[in-house]
Structure 1
Amino acid sequence: MNEIIDHLREVSESVPVPLELPTFEQLVEVEEQILIPLPNDLKEYLLFASDVIYGAIEPVTVTDPYSHTYLPEVTSYAWSIGMPRELIAICQQGDNFYCIDQEGQIHFWQDGELNEEPWESFWDWVEDIWLEH
């Protein structure tokens, strides 16, 4: 995980208004809003790398409730169009979502269906999808 975070930091784009990393308290607030605990890998990403901006993939964030990547809003929308309630959205692509289950596996929810082969961890997804696109 640390190597992946280091790599994300190396490729992170410089922007005029950088994203902020959340506090642990902000993560607790998000869990209270969506009424489901955040899996550990997602918490680690949010606390240590959610300020990274790279490429066209925009994973969820938790520091700005007005952002289009705000985890509670992205997840609520995904649930409203049929994504299973036990999943948490980690990245929106139109009406399709990469999402995480409570075991930490990442699924792609597309056209009302989950992909058959999940990624084993959030960090596997980062390497295979975010860093490759």
Structure 2
Amino acid sequence: MVTPGAGHLDLVQMAQLGWELGVPDDLLPFCENNGDYYCVAQDGSVVYWSHDGDTEEGWTDLAEWIEQVWIDEEAFDEEDGDE
């Protein structure tokens, strides 16, 4: 569900800001990370777009990104005591 006006959870606002900052129009920015963006590509893969230039980071789909980036990162933070 996309909820307009929900701040960092507003997908439309997130995408518009990403595109204004240079994310290519063929990518859908969905998560900001220090001025860089995780984006869904037209083929359904997820790519990491960096304002510093090209990166090699990518995932086959959103499910893989959630598992490897979002869930694994939270597990790492809990292990370190950074909740």
Provide the TM-score with structure 1 as the length reference.
Answer: 0.50
Q: What is the correspondence of 1:42-121 to structure 2 with a 5 Å cutoff? A: 62-121=2-61
The root-mean-square deviation of aligned C-alpha atoms, in Å, is: 1.5
- 1:127 to 2:73 alignment: no
Measure how far apart 1:92 and its partner are.
Answer: 0.8
Q: Which runs of 4+ in 1 moved over 4 A?
A: none
Measure how far apart 1:131 and its partner are.
Answer: 0.2
Contact 1:100 1:122 in 2 (8 A): yes
**Cα distance in 2 for residues equivalent to 1:72 and 1:112:** 24
More displaced stretch, 88-97 vs 106-115: 106-115
The number of residues matched between the two structures is 73
Indicate the SS of the match to 1:97.
strand
Unaligned runs of 5+ in 2: 74-83
Which residue type is aligned with residue 130 of structure 1?
W
User: Closer, same or farther in 2 for the Cα pair 1:107/1:66, shift >3 Å?
Assistant: same
Percent identity at matched positions? Answer: 27
**Cα distance in 2 for residues equivalent to 1:69 and 1:114:** 26
**Cα distance in 1 for residues equivalent to 2:53 and 2:9:** 22
Larger relative CO (CA 8 A, sep 6+): 1 or 2? Answer: 1
**Cα distance in 2 for residues equivalent to 1:110 and 1:132:** 21
**Cα distance in 2 for residues equivalent to 1:92 and 1:111:** 11
Higher strand share: 2
Contact 1:100 1:107 in 2 (8 A): yes
Unaligned runs of 5+ in 1: 1-21, 23-61
